[in-house]
Structure 1
Amino acid sequence: MESLTYTRPATTPAARRAHVGVVGSGDLEVLLEPAADGTTVELRTSVDGFGPTWKAVLDRFFARYDIAASIRINDFGATPGTVTLRLAQAVEAATAEETLQ
């Protein structure tokens, strides 16, 4: 089990909290909460030694999305593609306009 923390500047706060994915069966969950300024990613992963890979995936993702948030990722061996998908789902859920029905 490895714990990693990444921080980066960001200026667009998330509108609301989001929770996507589940831990288990090679997947991961992302919990996102709005932050006033900057982004912090706290990562817990079952696979040790992939810090440079995580940094590359997160750098690529946040080069595309400027969202100020506190993000917790609980990983159980997800691939970089799954990580990117879950992060995009969390950002979409946290920034989408709410509609009344």
Structure 2
Amino acid sequence: METLTFKFNATKSVPKHAYVGVVASGDLEILLEPSKEEKAYVVVRTASDGFGETWKNLLDRFFAVHDIAANIEINDFGATPGMVSMRLLQALEVCSSEKTER
């Protein structure tokens, strides 16, 4: 088990929190909440050790396009980079949607 932390500059705030995914074999969950700063803080808890550079590259690409100010927790159980990207986009869509959750 490995815990990785990342910080990114950001300019766009997100209006609400989002929760997507499920921690199960080969998947991950993402918890996203608005940040009070113009920064994004990401904590990755992963069952797969030794992939810090892969996570950094993936998150660098995401934040180069989506510079959102958010606190993000990612709980990973062996998801592929494609799945991680999809879940990040899904979380961004949820927190940006007009629909109110009940």
Alignment match, 1:87: 88
Partner-residue secondary structure (3-state), 1:23? coil
Q: How many residues align?
A: 99
In the superposition, the TM-score normalised over structure 1's length comes to 0.95
Amino acid at match of 2:21: G
Structure 1 residue 4, shift from structure 2 partner: 0.3
Alignment match, 1:61: 62
Partner-residue secondary structure (3-state), 1:39? strand
Cα distance in 1 for partners of 2:39, 2:76 equals 22
Instruction: Among all aligned residue pairs of Structure 1 and Structure 2, give the percentage whose two residues are the same amino acid.
Output: 59
In the superposition, the TM-score normalised over structure 2's length comes to 0.94
Alignment match, 2:7: 7
Q: CA RMSD in A?
A: 0.9
Amino acid at match of 1:44: R
Cα distance in 2 for partners of 1:82, 1:61 equals 13
The list of structure 1 runs, each at least 4 consecutive aligned residues, that deviate by more than 2 angstroms after superposition, is none
Structure 1 residue 68, shift from structure 2 partner: 0.4
